[in-house]
Structures are given as structure tokens and as C-alpha cells.
Amino acid sequence: MTKRMNINEPEEEWVVDESTELLKFLFKMMPARSKKSVKGILSRSQVFVNGQSTTQFNDPLHPGDRVSIEKRTAKHDARIRGLKILHEDEDIIVIEKEAGLLSIASEKENQMTAFRQLSDYIQNIRPKSRIFVVHRLDRDTSGVMIFAKSKRIQQKLQNAWQEAVPERSYIALVEGTVKEDGTITSWLTENKALIVRSSKNPNKGKKAVTKYKVLKSNANLSLLQVNLETGRKNQIRVHMQDLKHPIVGDKKYGSQTNPIKRVGLHAHTIGFKHPATKEYMRFESKVPASFTKKF
């Protein structure tokens, strides 16, 4: 069963029928969760009593009080710039990253990255906690990403990526008129200048397969839905260059125009089997308005 996330509604909500303490009540109402998991939800400010966030395990509850669990709190937005937390549990964090924010540190920048900010965020709650990169998005690509909260969970996802993450789609705004859907297959290598090159020779590089579907087009631009069968570095950007329809704003891979003042690539959806619970989860990030207003 696919679990679709709506971050505007409570995940669970109950009305108290007898006087008790908050943590005892949560243990009673969530018997399927481990005590560690319940305590984690409380410590992350996801528990609300009568609309007020609390982290106090011994808060008194009285008949008629309303207790709810929120998937994401306003506290996240206040602390973290350039991203939103769409889902968090004891094993993973799923975020929505804005264009312009690095996923992880580079030689030139170490502070304002998604990884660094998420690390600071969870360490404010538990000083010894860590997060681990599962996959990356280019700096100028927006959309959904997954981070792990342990090396074990990171490796479970990475070691079986194709099976664990069967759904991963992007929206690309490209130059020119793309007339029909298609598939691009090539072999990719990266040179010393960090530019990825594409070849039709199977002996040169790693195989990359990209499928694309035309959503909208006009005389100047096309909006494509892109699905990856492989996840190589810069794969979509290089393959759009191969197609002779580079992504707008992507000067590195042949773009001559930049009508939206950013690179026109957005990680739209990701669907995966949760590495611990095995539940299928699907997250969708709204297509930026700048991508569609040209049609």
C-alpha cells in the first residue's frame, strides 16, 4: 500500500478519557511502536496537546484533552534555510531542497549545505546523533531527497537502490521543441575538469539509461517528465545535451538560454520501500511555477 504524505494534517489524534501523564498515554495509544520510537517523536516536538507543542514526558493530561502527532512542525522551518522536512522518523529524513543549496560540502563551501543543516538540527535534539547521505541532488536542482540516520540504514538503501527506490522522477525544462517521448542510453565518464562525457561505446564509462515523456512544448521550450533507470552523476543534464535539447540555464551542458533564472531541473517524486518498516512511501514535490508559466 502506498503511503502518501500530507504534511498539513495530523498523523494521529486522540481525545483523553482519563487523567494520566503524556508519555504513558502515548505508549498506550501507540502499542505497535517501540518505546524508543515514541520517545523520539516526543523529543522532536511532534506531539501537541490541545494545539500546543510539548516535549515534556510527564505533562499531565485530563479528560477531554486532545493529543495529536504532527508529521512536521513549524520548528523545522524556523531552523533550516533552503529546505523543508517532509517526513522524519527514527531511521530516515525526507526533505524538499530548494535550488541553490548544496546537498553536501564542497571544497569551496562547508556551512550552508542540506547535510550540515540537518546534522545541526538533529544534534540540537540529541547531541550524539548523526545523519548520512543516501543520494545527492546537484546544487541547482530542487526537489525531494532522502537522508539516513544511521550507517546501517544508509547502506541498506544504497546497496539495493534500484529495488528499494523503484520510483524516481524529475521534471526538466529544456530548450527547443521535443516532439516525442523517448529513451536515451549511453556510457558516462567524468574528466579532470569534472565534466561528464557521454559515449555510445559500452567500453567507455558506466551505463546510463534515461526515459523522458513530453508534457508540454512550444516553439522555444519543452517540459519533460524524466525517469531514471540508472542514477549516474549529471545523467539527465548530459542526456538532454545528447538529445540536442539542453536544460535551460545549464551552461555547463550546452544551454544558451536562462528564462527562469535557474537550472530547469526538479526532483519531482520519489517512491521507496522504507528500509526498516518495509512500508512503501511516496513523496511528491510541487513543480516550480516558473517551469510552467512559459506555456
| Cell numbers linked to 215 | 508534457
Q: Is 138 annotated in the active site?
A: yes
CA-to-CA separations, 278 to 111, 112, 142, 193, 273, in angstroms, rounded? 34, 33, 27, 41, 5
Alpha carbons 228 and 165: distance in angstroms, whole number: 11
Alpha carbons 120 and 149: distance in angstroms, whole number: 13
Question: Of 65, 89, 138, 250, which one is the catalytic site residue?
Answer: 138
Catalytic residues: 138
